[in-house]
Structure 1
Amino acid sequence: MEWMQSSELARRRAFCASGIVLGALVLAVLSGCSTFSQANASHQKIVQARQLTQRGVQAMHRDDWENAEKLLAEAKKNAPYDLQARMHYAQTLWKTGKQAEAIAELESAQTLGSDDPDLHARIGRMYLDSGDPTKAHISANRAIECDPKYAPAWQLQGDLALVRRDLESAKLCYIRAATNSEAANRDVQLRLASTYRQLGQPSQALACISMVRQAEFGHRLPADVGVEQALAYRDLGRHVDAADCLAELAETNEMTADLLYTWAECEVAAGRLARAEYAANSALQVNPQHASALQLVGQLPVFRQQAQQTMRR
């Protein structure tokens, strides 16, 4: 009898143990389903964030900054650890006049990507544009530490050198930026051209401009490229080329009184006094008090008399 009771007790214990195991398995399955569901929801948010980021970047390319800001804000909300979304979002904040918020956004994002050179270069550029070259210099150095061949960081260092009026250092930084760019970087080449010209090396400046012109073959001469080209021609003593370049720019662009006066100067040096008078008067239309243009107009009769005397000889 005792043996039967003992056997029955063992069966009950085994049954209870089986129930416990089965319950544990059910809980594990349910927990796994919950975890899978959470993981799936998280994955969907990441996918949605990437789609929103892509749409935001497309809006940025269309210069639709307000719409881009909304899309990227939503992308950041869905994936707060997505560094690319946050960097693009900061750019939209900057473009819509929220400079302080843009900088704060990138400063916060630095905790996500401390080894990302693009992040450091971007915030460094914002620091510089907002008038804080010290922080910009620190950020540029961090970007270069992350990637010694990162061209935008060297370009930023070159711009900082220009702020210090250290033309030689600026030149070396721009050369590093140009060397490490996959293709001809328009902004770098133009900055390098300007730096060469200010260092009294107009031939090297023209070489940089030539690279930009080749990359933009078939397009109308852009104003910034044309100005640098004209000034390099002038410094080389190629006054006809300089004057023709500035005349071409004046046909399609609004020009400052100083540039129009430079055009007039080049026309005088080229011996084309009628064109010089037109250019000087154009400068005075922009700024009637432009002292140099007024002086040149007053000197034109003397220049004409000298030209006539030269022809008689």
Structure 2
Amino acid sequence: MNGLMFYAPHTPCHRDHRSGKTPRRRPVGRCDWAACLLLLAVAFNGCTTLARSKTDESVVSARQLSLRGINAAQQGQFQEAQVFFNRASEMCPLDEKIRYHYAETLWQLGSRTQAVAHMEEAVRLSGGNADLVVRLGDMYLAGGDLQRAAVQADAAIQANRQLASAWALRGDVLRSMGQDEEALASYHRALSNQSHYPHVQLAVADIYGRQRRHARALATLRTLADGYPSGETPTQVLVLQGLALKELGRYEAAAETLASAAKQQKPPSTEVLAYLAETQWLAGDAANARLTLQTALSQSSQEQAAEPLMAQLLTLQQKLTGDMRL
């Protein structure tokens, strides 16, 4: 017979009882060889399945730990979340989502160097996911590394030119470099892709304010305010609107807006009260200006207000006492 041939082992006690002779050894042919291969394949597949099963169990366990970490982080329990994410990343080191959440938790805990390292790994594992690239750039920017932040912004824009956060990051970098006009261009690109973007709109309003383009600043802030449900506009936005109106000489509207901001705070901050008192006085409402100023002075003494704010309050007090315009 052609091909490989295997022989069954000789068994002395195996006889043909009909003839009394020991039978010849039977050759194992191609069919038996195929059966052997099949048995080997089944055995190997069983080992592979077992290994895969163990891997799947590790992945499931890691994701369960990650979910527990996310829940803990959402409740502000960052130390506990760190433990969960650490265990999850050890069980499943190639999961970029676990790395991302671990990095964010470390960032909240103030472990910025470790946070950046894990976010860099998350970016690598994701193959350069644009959202993760932007977050890494934000971390670089917060650490003062403008060059590396700029590189991340460019990389994210190349990956997805419609990603608003990528343009926002570029704007933040340029603004930090003092390049306001270039920053505005990037911010407007961000807003063209995401019309309600508070971080960007506040940055744009700040640039316009510093450029003394108060009408543009006010328009930007009003658009931002319109993006919130009625009665839910953040205090910061109301305060900035009031200050823009004040700079435009619209004192009554400014006082009304600042009063809304003060009512929204519980209690109102000394700074907002100082803005309100000054604006009320400019609007010709000296009586309410004095009442507001008294509250601000009383509050500042309890809070040990910063020197510039205290100086502002005392100056306003002198002007109210002397009944003269600023």
Question: What TM-score, normalized by structure 2, do the two folds share?
Answer: 0.79
Deviations 1:125-157 (A, max 9, x none): 111112222222222222212212221121122
The residue that corresponds to 1:125 in the other structure is 138
Shift of 1:26: 1.8
- Cα separation, 1, equivalents of 2:171 and 2:270: 26
1:163 partner letter: S
- Cα separation, 2, equivalents of 1:131 and 1:276: 42
RMSD: 2.8
Shift of 1:21: 4.3
Pick one of 273, 298, 304 that aligns with 2:318: 298
1:31 partner letter: F
Shift of 1:209: 2.5
The residue that corresponds to 2:147 in the other structure is 134
The residue that corresponds to 1:151 in the other structure is 164
The residue that corresponds to 1:92 in the other structure is 105
Shift of 1:124: 1.1
The residue that corresponds to 2:279 in the other structure is 266
2:76 is aligned with 1:63: yes
Q: Secondary structure, in 3 states, of the residue corresponding to 1:111?
A: helix
Segment of structure 1 superposing worse, 272-281 or 234-243: 272-281
Unaligned runs of 5+ in 1: 1-10, 307-313
**Does the CA-based 8 Å contact 2:280-2:289 persist in structure 1?**
yes
**Does the CA-based 8 Å contact 2:137-2:152 persist in structure 1?**
yes
Q: Considering only CA atoms, is the larger Rg found in Structure 1 or Structure 2?
A: 2
Q: Secondary structure, in 3 states, of the residue corresponding to 2:125?
A: coil
Deviations 1:198-244 (A, max 9, x none): 33333333333333333321344422212221122112222112222
- Cα separation, 2, equivalents of 1:128 and 1:288: 28
Q: Which has the higher helix share?
A: 1
Pick one of 170, 185, 196 that aligns with 2:197: 185
- Cα separation, 2, equivalents of 1:186 and 1:150: 16
- Cα separation, 1, equivalents of 2:281 and 2:94: 62
Q: How does 1:162-173 map to 2 (within 5 A)?
A: 162-173=175-186
- Cα separation, 2, equivalents of 1:114 and 1:36: 28
The residue that corresponds to 2:256 in the other structure is 244
- Cα separation, 1, equivalents of 2:291 and 2:115: 47
**Does the CA-based 8 Å contact 1:281-1:293 persist in structure 2?**
no
2:100 partner letter: M
Unaligned runs of 5+ in 2: 1-23
Question: Aligned residue pairs: how many?
Answer: 295
Shift of 1:261: 3.1
Pick one of 218, 237, 255 that aligns with 2:269: 255
Deviations 1:86-113 (A, max 9, x none): 1111001101121111011122333323
- Cα separation, 1, equivalents of 2:247 and 2:71: 42
The residue that corresponds to 1:200 in the other structure is 212
- Cα separation, 1, equivalents of 2:251 and 2:311: 22
Segment of structure 1 superposing worse, 236-245 or 197-206: 197-206
**Does the CA-based 8 Å contact 2:168-2:190 persist in structure 1?**
yes
2:164 partner letter: A
**Does the CA-based 8 Å contact 2:221-2:237 persist in structure 1?**
yes
**Does the CA-based 8 Å contact 2:97-2:122 persist in structure 1?**
no
Seq. identity, %? 32
Question: What TM-score, normalized by structure 1, do the two folds share?
Answer: 0.82
Structure 1 stretches of 4+ moved >4 Å = 16-21
Pick one of 222, 233, 236 that aligns with 1:224: 236
- Cα separation, 1, equivalents of 2:210 and 2:261: 22
- The verdict on how the C-alpha distance between 1:296 and 1:130 changes in structure 2, with shifts beyond 3 A counting, is same
- The verdict on how the C-alpha distance between 1:142 and 1:74 changes in structure 2, with shifts beyond 3 A counting, is same
Pick one of 69, 78, 98 that aligns with 2:91: 78
The residue that corresponds to 1:211 in the other structure is 223
2:225 partner letter: R
Q: Secondary structure, in 3 states, of the residue corresponding to 1:137?
A: helix
- Cα separation, 1, equivalents of 2:280 and 2:274: 10
- Cα separation, 2, equivalents of 1:40 and 1:288: 63
